[in-house]
Chain A
């Protein structure tokens, strides 16, 4: 079975899961406070950031801190649980397909849904920025060429985190533990950013990227700037290690 057709089959399995509605609802709820508190963006001009940039960055910060990692935990639950009902996993393992390929295809489904979550958030950003522009009489809408690279950077920086969550879902069979560990690991991510070894904690990456961008846009704020060493090497190593472990452990419990 080719990898692409495997990927398509995995995507099809989640087609009727309703997960897209949950991602959409999260994106809608995320931007509602931004519309309601739109006038607060004018107060941030003292920091040297324009209101329209502040509007975008604040929304993305709220997303990168809790909503996005938590929704990724939910998607891992979806991917691992759909296969457990009626011993679906056993049937998949009986097929002449490499388990590592199967595991990677499922991981890519997770990455796909995270991308969808981002697209929903960007879409809702445009809707809320348009509404805020109307209510405040000030143009909050930024060009897509500015917004899309921002979103893409945060999304790309979240891949190691997703690999970590996927490893949790594969290695820990008890749902309470895999979900609990995933959700609990999100809570101290802001604390970890204040330590010198933040780059060893993948859950902090998306929030780091967006705060660094905040520091660049706000002239009077001094934030950490992005330095690719040792961050990038740590990120690549963590992603590879998590994927290797999950590929190795995938389906082990069922085959016993």
Chain B
């Protein structure tokens, strides 16, 4: 019920259009890279998907994470704006249900985001590298990996937004989180487990062991942030 409610709430917020715009921009990155400087990428030894992701993934995922932070702020801002949250709290709906409804919504929008990026990467691989259908498997594997690693970032952005009543504080904290993520070098496994930094990782060049580590960390962080949010909401409710 919460998810359906959330879908109706975003009708006039422009969130869907913002995500669509971001998707178009992010999907254009590999296409523009290949159209304007193909000589930089065509003669590399790595697989086409890895070359394309290596060239543009940082920018694509950054757009995605920034949109997630913005979306999370907007979704909670409309609850806090005219004290709508108090009305929501008086309904027979759990406050955590509200949170997970919003999380599912952003996860769905992000999944579409990743799907469009995957189509763009696969299209570039076929058009410029002349690969066949086998590229789909590799692209889909990357998509699944990225979606799982995005979940902690989505939940953390929503957790921050749900805690801060002022939109600029939530946005500021989220932006600082993205700033930390951009400063973490790829080689440091422990530091890159920070929820906002996780999605910046791709499958290319990772060993099976490290991939397993990232997948486990993604799942564990998703569960941990969910539990933390439920506790925070209970505590806040108790003091209201």
* B183–A180 CB distance below 8 A: no
With A26-B179, A29-B179, A176-B14 known as contacts, the answer to whether A184 contacts B171 (CB < 8 A) is: no
- Give B120 Cβ to nearest chain A Cβ, in Å: 16
* A187–B14 CB distance below 8 A: no
Interface positions of B from 166 to 194, Cβ below 8 Å from A: 166-169, 171-173, 175-176, 178-180, 182-183
- Which listed segment binds B: A4-12, A45-53, A70-78, A205-213? A70-78
* A74–B13 CB distance below 8 A: no
| Chain A residues closer than 8 Å to B71, beta-carbon distance | 176
- Which listed segment binds B: A17-25, A96-104, A234-242? A17-25
Q: Which of B18, B179, B182 contacts A180 (CB 8 A)?
A: B18
- Which listed segment binds A: B58-66, B97-105, B221-229? B58-66
* B25 lies within 8 A of chain A by Cβ: yes
* A78–B14 CB distance below 8 A: no
* A42 lies within 8 A of chain B by Cβ: no
Contact with B along A147-188 (1 / 0, CB 8 A): 000000000000000000000000000111101100110011
* A78–B168 CB distance below 8 A: yes
Most buried by A among B67, B77, B172, B180: B172
* A22–B172 CB distance below 8 A: yes
Q: Which of A18, A25, A66, A191 contacts B166 (CB 8 A)?
A: A18
* B168–A184 CB distance below 8 A: no
Give Cα distance in the complex from A179 to B167, angstroms.
11
Closest B residue to A34 by beta carbon equals B183
| Chain A residues closer than 8 Å to B63, beta-carbon distance | 184, 187
- Give A28 Cβ to nearest chain B Cβ, in Å: 10
Most buried by A among B168, B173, B183: B168
* A220 lies within 8 A of chain B by Cβ: no
**Interface size range on A against B:** 20 to 34
Give Cα distance in the complex from A176 to B70, angstroms.
6
Q: Which of B18, B62, B173 contacts A22 (CB 8 A)?
A: B173
Give Cα distance in the complex from A17 to B172, angstroms.
12
With A66-B182, A187-B59, A187-B63 known as contacts, the answer to whether A175 contacts B176 (CB < 8 A) is: no
* B136 lies within 8 A of chain A by Cβ: no
Chief secondary structure at chain A's binding surface: helix
With A77-B167, A176-B70 known as contacts, the answer to whether A71 contacts B172 (CB < 8 A) is: yes
* A43 lies within 8 A of chain B by Cβ: no
- Give A186 Cβ to nearest chain B Cβ, in Å: 8
With A180-B21, A180-B67, A180-B70 known as contacts, the answer to whether A74 contacts B14 (CB < 8 A) is: no
* B73 lies within 8 A of chain A by Cβ: yes
* B22–A180 CB distance below 8 A: yes
- Give B85 Cβ to nearest chain A Cβ, in Å: 14
| Chain A residues closer than 8 Å to B115, beta-carbon distance | none
* B166–A183 CB distance below 8 A: no
| Chain B residues closer than 8 Å to A77, beta-carbon distance | 167-168, 171
| Chain A residues closer than 8 Å to B81, beta-carbon distance | 85
With A22-B169, A177-B14 known as contacts, the answer to whether A184 contacts B176 (CB < 8 A) is: no
* B25–A184 CB distance below 8 A: yes
* B15 lies within 8 A of chain A by Cβ: yes
* A184–B22 CB distance below 8 A: yes
* A17–B179 CB distance below 8 A: no
With A174-B13, A176-B13, A184-B66 known as contacts, the answer to whether A67 contacts B18 (CB < 8 A) is: no
